[in-house]
Amino acid sequence: MGCNLSYFRLLAAVLALSWCLHTRVCHAVSYTVTIDTSPLATQTTPPAPFSLEFQLTNGGGVVNNTATLSGFNFGAGGSATGSPTTNGGASGDLLSTVILTDSSFFNEFIQGFIPSASDPLRFLLDLTTNVEPSTPDAFSFAIFDRSGVGIPTSFFDVFVQIDITSPLTISTFASDPSLSPAACPTCPGITIGAPGVESTVPEPGTLILLASGLIGVIIHQRRRMA
């Protein structure tokens, strides 16, 4: 009986993985986001201090998505500061992991940070890609100044905007140095280049090898049963 149970469990795992690869319903993508925040290190108060802001909006409300942010690397002299502020399905901390779920329409995470004067900010973004039948869910990343308003960019004060469509619509934006930060209307604009968003998704061959390994275990179990 134990062998039969193990056999069917392994068979179910292989079938589930095969279905996932075929339908992409449970597909998730992974990106390394890099942005040079060193120009912020020379800013005085105001517009400093600054905060990182992440949003996941629930577009159609039919399917669910999750954004997980981890591996924050602030560079030499940089760090997270203070306690986070969250709205909706947001939780976590910049010192560990931030999770955004679309449990409500507006889901937001904000926490202060000290930018490095020499190194860029880096973090890992894992994002599920379940597509809404109408209005897509969307992830965005912004940097807030002391006033709690995003540093002006060429698109609604966000540096990264990812619409969960098929395929994903990934857009990055630089700051708009012609506009002063909201916290200091008399200050010059801040110049920050558009972030890099580099895919770190495992190759399909890795998943195929995993399925092959499970199949091999099933064959071994069947031989033992025989």
* 135-174 pLDDT, tens digit each: 999 999 999 999 999 999 999 999 999 999 999 999 999 9
What percent of the chain has pLDDT above 70?
77
Q: Give strand pairing partners of 69.
A: 98, 125
How far does Cα 131 stand from its chain's mean position?
Answer: 16
Answer whether residue 15 is part of any domain. no
Angle among Cα 86, 69, 65 to the nearest 5 degrees reads: 75
Question: Dihedral, CA atoms, 12, 13, 14, 19, nearest 10 degrees?
Answer: 80
Answer whether residue 133 is part of any domain. yes
Answer whether residue 4 is part of any domain. no
Answer whether residue 44 is part of any domain. yes
Answer whether residue 114 is part of any domain. yes
pTM, to two decimals: 0.79
Answer whether residue 220 is part of any domain. no
pLDDT score for 209: 42
pLDDT score for 215: 54
Answer whether residue 21 is part of any domain. no
Q: Which of 24-38, 90-104, 194-208 is the least confident region?
A: 194-208
pLDDT score for 27: 76
Answer whether residue 16 is part of any domain. no
Tally the domains of the chain. 1
pLDDT score for 106: 95
**Rounded average pLDDT over 91-113:** 97
Query: Measured between alpha carbons, how far is 150 from 80 in angstroms, rounded to an integer?
Result: 18
| Residue 57 vs residue 221, higher pLDDT | 57
Query: Could you tell me the CA-to-CA distances from 89 to 99, 100, 105, 122, 222 in Å, in that order?
Result: 8, 6, 9, 23, 45
Tell me the residue range of the domain where 45 lies: 26-202
Q: Give strand pairing partners of 33.
A: 123, 197
The β-bridge relationship of strands 160-163 and 138-144 is antiparallel
pLDDT score for 16: 40
